[in-house]
Chain A
Amino acid sequence: MSDPRTTRRPGSKAGSTTVRRTLRTAVRRIVRFAVSLAALLVAAFAMIHLIPGDPVRASLGPAAPIELIEARTAALGLDRPLPEQFVTYVGHVLTGDFGTSFLTGEAVGDVIAARLPNTLTLALLATAVALIVAVPLGMWAAVRTENGRNRGTDLAFGTVTGTAVAVPEFLYSIALVAALAVGLGWFPPAGKAGPLTYVLPVAALSAGPIAMIARITRVETLRELGTDYVRLARAKRLPAARLHLRHVLPNTLTATLTVGGLLLTSLIAGSVLVEYVFAWPGLGLKIVESITQKDYPVAQAVILVYGAIVLVVNLVVDLVLGALDPTSEIKEVSA
């Protein structure tokens, strides 16, 4: 009543208005994406220049002959004026040219092309596993502990997931390697060769997210179970399965999808540590190597790629949510 922006006027319910509003929101999101991408490009470019001292000298070490440093500096264009460097940089990135590695002389673009699929596979698999395990688990916990019944289950669920969330993926990785690979020898400890090698990295990467999503699903489900329309569905004496799957689940999907999207981005980043432990030939391993070895063109390019993936995933999630949720544009306006 006090906020007319959230009050839907009966006259504005026509479908075309909704479609137009959805489209307008979509355009706004795409614009926002473009701005973020530009900012990311500037940040990646600035990275090299923000490094204190001379990055080339830092990378080649104090003993490097002055001619080599100058040649390398010139090859990188670091002796040109900044605006010119930026224009060149953007031009190169847009044509897929990410420069060459200081260390190996490989084209960074080729390195990324070879390694990105491995990282994406890992992250996508882990996201899928996490959602498939966690959503039913969270719903089950919510239904069992609704209104404070089964305090024991509530406590156990809270403690176990609270603990599981707090353990970082590199510890899961190390524990899995130590127990199942080195100790029992069931799985290969490292590398990527065949389906078996996927098991431990995916498990390590999805353990924390399972706990987190299960918690979120539980909270969302509990909220749904308390709504009037679920009360009404209960008054209609619908069977439990129908009640939960048809009335509760669809309304928790928005939150689950949002989290799933965020999760994918965080898993892509989280895979850095897992790849490191399992010597997984992905981008994560590469970025660690490049930073410790001061191979700046590689570090710069990989961070740029990671950032771009995050932005793309967020955009896709936003657009999908906007198209799915019939009421999302209200939230958009009133947020």
Chain B
Amino acid sequence: MRIEGLTVRYGGFTAVDDVTLEIPDGHVVGLVGESGSGKSSLARAVSGLVPYTGGIEGAPRIQMVFQDPYASLDPRMTIGETVGEGIEKRRRATEVPRLLGLVQLPAELAGRYPRELSGGQRQRVAIARALGGDPALLVADEITGSLDVSVQGAVLNLVRGLRDELGLSMLFISHNLAVVRYVADTIAVMHHGRIVEHGPAEQVVGEPAHDYTRALLAAVPRLRG
């Protein structure tokens, strides 16, 4: 799929400024940027949640996973109901356990409510719900941003596994370069509403072409030794 000249404006403020981005089939495109860079607005525009100008071609079904797993599940619906939303009634009984299995959750969780789950489990449920929409593209907006590190690893593994097993295309958004590098095939760097650099993950990290990318890389904290 291809994003062509996409622009998002809120009143007089341009959050996303004429962005063109290609997401090849079965690829994970990582999008990094700091707060206010427009990465979340781009995600919401691609998902059709905010009005935009410009074009999005070749992606009929788009689903999104949100940052806060405590806000993205309806507290009044069971896990099964949440995951089964958007699936035809007669297929629900077989699909819900399958989807829960895909995100490595036991099928018994279907009868539980979100408040009974941990943050990591909730985020898996949100991913399962998105997979239920049989997406051609999955938009993941800071999905590990509110998780603890020890839980984050498992969710990132899951994301990579889904790409490998299902051939899922993904727009993976994070402020954390190391996280994006780990899951993405290519990395796009966003700054002030524009994409300043886009290339294969190792190349962007190893031989950054843009000054801003270099500044971002230099700022990533590293363990010494």
Residues of B within 8 A of A7 (CB): 35-36
Residues of B within 8 A of A5 (CB): 10-11, 13
Does the CB pair B40–A1 fall under 8 Å?
yes
Residues of A within 8 A of B15 (CB): 4
- Chain A, residues 1-30, CB within 8 Å of chain B (1/0): the string is 110110101000000000000000000000
Question: In this assembly, does B63 line the interface, its C-beta being within 8 Å of a C-beta of chain A?
Answer: no
* B21-41 residues at the A interface, CB under 8 angstroms: 35-36, 38, 40-41
Residue of A nearest to B193 (CB): A4
Does the CB pair A9–B36 fall under 8 Å?
yes
Complex Cα distance, B94 from A307, in Å, reads 62
Complex Cα distance, B184 from A245, in Å, reads 53
Complex Cα distance, B40 from A333, in Å, reads 20
- Chain B, residues 27-64, CB within 8 Å of chain A (1/0): the string is 00000000110101100100000000000000000000
Interface of B is mostly: mixed
Number of A-B contacts (CB under 8 A): 20
Interface of A is mostly: loop
Does the CB pair B11–A1 fall under 8 Å?
no
Residues of B within 8 A of A9 (CB): 13, 36
- Chain A, residues 313-335, CB within 8 Å of chain B (1/0): the string is 00000000000000000000100
CB of A37 to closest CB in B, whole Å? 28
- Chain A, residues 88-104, CB within 8 Å of chain B (1/0): the string is 00000000000000000
Residue of B nearest to A7 (CB): B36
Residue of B nearest to A8 (CB): B36
Complex Cα distance, B11 from A7, in Å, reads 13
Which of A2, A4, A5, A7 neighbours the largest number of chain B CB atoms within 10 Å of its CB?
A4
Does the CB pair A1–B36 fall under 8 Å?
yes
Complex Cα distance, B222 from A69, in Å, reads 94
Residues of B within 8 A of A2 (CB): 40-41, 44
Residue of B nearest to A2 (CB): B40
Residues of A within 8 A of B35 (CB): 1, 7
Residue of A nearest to B39 (CB): A1
Complex Cα distance, B50 from A4, in Å, reads 12
Complex Cα distance, B10 from A5, in Å, reads 7
CB of A16 to closest CB in B, whole Å? 16
CB of A14 to closest CB in B, whole Å? 15
CB of B126 to closest CB in A, whole Å? 16
* B1-24 residues at the A interface, CB under 8 angstroms: 10-11, 13, 15
Residue of B nearest to A4 (CB): B15
- Chain B, residues 62-99, CB within 8 Å of chain A (1/0): the string is 00000000000000000000000000000000000000
Complex Cα distance, B36 from A5, in Å, reads 10
CB of A50 to closest CB in B, whole Å? 41
Residues of A within 8 A of B11 (CB): 5, 333
Which of A2, A9, A333 neighbours the largest number of chain B CB atoms within 10 Å of its CB?
A2
CB of A18 to closest CB in B, whole Å? 15
- Chain A, residues 133-173, CB within 8 Å of chain B (1/0): the string is 00000000000000000000000000000000000000000
Residues of B within 8 A of A333 (CB): 11
Residue of B nearest to A3 (CB): B10
Residue of B nearest to A10 (CB): B36
Complex Cα distance, B13 from A4, in Å, reads 8
Between-chain CB contacts (< 8 Å), 18 pairs: A1-B35, A1-B36, A2-B40, A2-B41, A2-B44, A4-B10, A4-B13, A4-B15, A4-B36, A4-B38, A4-B41, A5-B11, A5-B13, A7-B35, A7-B36, A9-B13, A9-B36, A333-B11
Given contact pairs A4-B15, A5-B11, enumerate 5 new A-B contacts (beta carbons under 8 Å).
Answer: A1-B40, A2-B44, A4-B13, A4-B36, A9-B36
Chain A positions within 8 Å of B, measured between CB atoms, are 1-2, 4-5, 7, 9, 333
List of 10 A-B pairs having minimum Cβ-Cβ separation, nearest first: A1-B35, A4-B15, A2-B40, A5-B10, A7-B36, A4-B10, A4-B13, A1-B40, A4-B36, A4-B41
